[in-house]
Amino acid sequence: MKNLKDILYKVSINQVFGNTNVEVQNIVFDSRKIEKNDVFVAQKGVTVDGHLYIDKAINLGASVIICEDFSIEKKEGVVYVEVADANIALAIMASNFYNNPSEKLSLIGVTGTNGKTTIASLLYQLFKKAGFKVGLLSTVKVLVDEIEFKATHTTPDSVAINSYLDKMLDAGVDYCFMEVSSHGIHQKRTEGLTFAGGIFTNLSHDHLDYHETFAEYRNVKKSFFDSLSKSAFALTNLDDKNGNFMLQNCLANKQTYAVKTLADYKAKILEKQFSGTLLKINDTEVWTKLIGEFNASNLLAIYAVAELLGLEKLEILTIISQLENVSGRFEYVISDDNVTAIVDYAHTPDALKNVLETINDIRTGNENLYTVVGCGGDRDKTKRPKMAHIASQLSNQAIFTSDNPRSENPQTILDEMEVGVSPENYKKTLSILDRKQAIKTACKFSESGDIILIAGKGHENYQEINGVRTHFDDLEEVKNCFNQLKNN
- Going residue by residue through the chain, which has 488 residues, state the pLDDT in tens, using 9 for 90 and above: 999 999 999 999 999 999 999 999 999 999 999 999 999 999 987 778 999 999 999 999 999 999 999 998 999 999 999 999 999 999 999 999 999 999 999 999 999 988 999 999 999 999 999 999 999 999 889 999 999 998 777 678 999 999 999 999 999 999 999 999 988 998 999 999 999 999 999 997 554 555 468 788 899 999 999 999 999 999 999 999 999 999 999 999 999 999 999 999 999 999 998 889 999 999 999 999 999 899 999 999 999 999 999 999 999 999 999 999 888 989 999 999 999 999 999 999 999 999 999 999 999 888 999 999 999 999 889 999 999 999 999 999 999 999 999 999 999 999 999 999 999 999 999 999 999 999 999 999 999 999 999 999 999 999 999 989 999 999 999 999 999 987 76
Closest by alpha carbon to 59, among 45, 44, 38? Answer: 38
CA angle 158–212–239, rounded 5-degree value: 80
pLDDT of residue 207: 47
Return the pLDDT at 211. Answer: 46
Q: What is the pLDDT of residue 237?
A: 98
d(C-alpha 26, C-alpha 19), whole Å: 17
d(CA 85, CA 65): 13
Report H helices in 142-230. 158-170, 182-186, 208-211, 214-226
Cβ neighbourhood burial of 29 (10 Å; 0-12, 13-18, 19+): buried
DSSP state of 325: P
3-state helix vs strand vs coil in the chain, percent to 5: 35, 25, 40
Best CA proximity match to 396, nearest among 430, 433, 436? 430
Around 422, how many Cα atoms within 13 Å sit in the side-chain half-sphere?
8
Report in angstroms the alpha-carbon separations of 320 from 33, 115, 143, 435.
43, 16, 20, 35
Residue type, 432: I
Distance of CA 389 to the CA centre of its chain: 25
Q: Which of 206, 201, 136 is nearest to 456 (CA)?
A: 206
